[in-house]
Structure 1
Amino acid sequence: MTEIRNYDTLALVASAAAENAVEILQEAIIRNGEAYWVLAGGSSPIAAYKELVQDYADAVDWSKVTVLIGDERFVPLDHEDSNWGTIMKIFDANEYFKDMVRIEPDILSTIELTAQSYESRIQSLAINQFDLVWIGVGEDGHTLSLFPANPALVDEASTWVVSVHHAPKLPSERFSLSLEAMRHVTELVIFATGASKKNILRQARLKGGLPISVVAEEVESSGGEVRWLYDDAAWGEV
């Protein structure tokens, strides 16, 4: 099922995403005794993490929540370009999140080894389903680190993590969850925000074929729910 919601501002999108995350994670913990949440980098998710830390820190038993990263740049985790490092600094500001189970990537000598290592970490958890996945969308329609016409967008059998070379945005080497991983998602939340994204989001919804469209279709066709969170700046004629 696909649901589209439109909010006046990014701040309202962030608030809605944080509230929804609490609901989904609580339900997963009640149902399974634990919850798995895939995090996203980018300014819109960052605003939602800050909202979560400020207003919902005590709403979830974070010791029962395992967090992973949907994609990461091939940089040290303390580098300003690291998605993981940036997000963890926000969570570290509140003691409620200290017991969160964190599947931190190991940045090894090559991006291939780094991707293989994260794949092994995920497989060792014996995860059948990600309860919640957050993703954004780039001005070219990319999501995670799956870019248009990049070989990493091609399905690679049962591999859940792929290495990415020659990404059109720096850093050009990254790893990303794959389309196969997206077939194991209960709820996908897409941050569709910003005036610069209006045209590509219109194309994604009407024509498909872009990475963001492909990922959303994979989740929905596998039985997952897809929730698009727009702000007015990105809404346009969708």
Structure 2
Amino acid sequence: MTALAFVRFGVSCAAQPRKAGRKAATKPQTGRVSASGNGASIADLARENGANLKTLNGTRSESLPESSEELGQDQKPAVSRINYIPKSRWPKGIPPVMGAHLMPSGEVAPISTSKGAGVGGVPHKFMYPKEDKENYQVLQFASQAAGSQGLATYVQQISEAAIKERGAFTLVLSGGSLLKAIGQLVGSPGVDFSKWHVFFVDERNVPHSHSDSNYKGADEALLSKANIPREQVHAIRENLPVAEAATEYAGQLLRLDKTVLPRNAEGLPIFDAMLLGLGPDGHVASLFPNRSQIAATDSWVLPVENSPKPPPERITMSLPVINSAKEIALVAMGEGKAEIVQRVLEVQSLPGALPAQLVQPSSGSLKWFLDIASAQNLAMHKWDSTKDFPRST
């Protein structure tokens, strides 16, 4: 991972990035991320191999700390003689996912590709471009409420700029709590909802009145309260087989005038703002780990027939379409997101194992919206260290 900026809002703490970005009295600091790897502590390695940390080789009956760095030089445990070999828990051999772990979703977390700091291997795909460091930022807010307000302000600013430029604003939504954040804009002065066009980066193949429908969530939080013309709210067609629903939705996008939905040099649509949530297994939209949809490049909208998360039938925009957006917000707030946020931003994984790592705008900008709770496991003060990051444990 390289060149990821970090910004804090309303947070006071001692750990700051080493290198400051452009100096300005009113702007938060930014730091950079460099690529390398580090290893697990001896205690961690012992735990992974089923050892009892209190009785290794007859050592004192004390638990080892999480990291030997917590001890003084004279207090560090002697580790060179650890040779504990537990009785095999795998009579059929060590599982192929040994070294990984399960995410809250039950999916297997990515297996490390690191061979050690600076040792061989194939360059990892999850590398934010060095030359575009200003386009990749992590924003940390003091609370979920502050983060939601920050997201709403972000969308409002993009909306005003797009309408001023070409008389239309295109917003792509997923589901979840970010819908309520955007709902805060209802009644805000300066927001011209009549020029908004609303789309869905993914949707469940259910009726619009169903509780699983992202359209229903958006309607309750925003659409029914704002004066967005109904013909400018682009929902999937109900009561179609999922493959047909995906094709029909792509057709809706293709029929739009290019003054509303411009195209880039590759012929892909350029949305003004795309808001993505983050699943506990690292999925975004309905692009799930290690699924064929992640590699698809020939369609704007894809069917998903066997989603690991119910309901099983969905449609989703493809990664090339997502990465063609002008502005992408990846929203992950709350303590329940802490583990996956840390893994996506700090752990080197196999391409496709964490789909969120593949959200890399081709010419636009990506901003992570975090709060203190979701960022609690990040070691941002080390992001400039070539010794420590990206982590591979």
Query: Residue 62 of structure 1 contacts residue 99 of structure 1 at CA under 8 Å; is this kept in 2?
Result: no
**Structure 1 residue 133 corresponds to structure 2 residue 264:** no
Superposition deviation, residue 108 in structure 1: 3.4
Give 1:211's aligned residue: 355
Give 2:175's aligned residue: 41
Give 2:116's aligned residue: none
Query: Residue 174 of structure 2 contacts residue 201 of structure 2 at CA under 8 Å; is this kept in 1?
Result: yes
Secondary structure in 2 aligned to 1:130?
coil
Give 1:76's aligned residue: 207
Cα separation, 1, equivalents of 2:309 and 2:343: 21
Name stretches of at least 5 consecutive residues in structure 2 with no aligned partner: 1-134, 264-269, 379-393
Q: 2:251 aligns with which of 109, 120, 124?
A: 120
Superposition deviation, residue 214 in structure 1: 0.6
Name stretches of at least 5 consecutive residues in structure 1 with no aligned partner: none
Cα separation, 2, equivalents of 1:198 and 1:92: 30
Superposition deviation, residue 46 in structure 1: 2.4
Secondary structure in 2 aligned to 1:108?
coil
**Structure 1 residue 30 corresponds to structure 2 residue 164:** yes
Could you tell which deviates more after superposition, 199-208 or 67-76?
199-208
Q: TM-score if structure 1 supplies the norm length?
A: 0.91
**Structure 1 residue 88 corresponds to structure 2 residue 219:** yes
Query: Residue 207 of structure 2 contacts residue 239 of structure 2 at CA under 8 Å; is this kept in 1?
Result: no
Q: 1:152 aligns with which of 285, 293, 299?
A: 293
Cα separation, 2, equivalents of 1:111 and 1:178: 15
Superposition deviation, residue 63 in structure 1: 1.6
- What letter matches 1:150 in structure 2? R
Instruction: Give the helix-richer structure, 1 or 2.
Output: 1
**Structure 1 residue 142 corresponds to structure 2 residue 317:** no
Secondary structure in 2 aligned to 1:118?
helix
Query: Residue 67 of structure 1 contacts residue 100 of structure 1 at CA under 8 Å; is this kept in 2?
Result: no
Query: Residue 193 of structure 2 contacts residue 226 of structure 2 at CA under 8 Å; is this kept in 1?
Result: no
Query: Residue 71 of structure 1 contacts residue 176 of structure 1 at CA under 8 Å; is this kept in 2?
Result: yes
RMSD over equivalenced CA pairs, Å: 1.7
Instruction: Give the strand-richer structure, 1 or 2.
Output: 1
Cα separation, 2, equivalents of 1:95 and 1:134: 18
The 1:77–1:93 alpha-carbon spacing in structure 2 relative to 1, beyond 3 Å, is closer
Secondary structure in 1 aligned to 2:344?
helix
Q: TM-score if structure 2 supplies the norm length?
A: 0.56
Cα separation, 2, equivalents of 1:13 and 1:25: 18
Query: Residue 191 of structure 1 contacts residue 228 of structure 1 at CA under 8 Å; is this kept in 2?
Result: yes
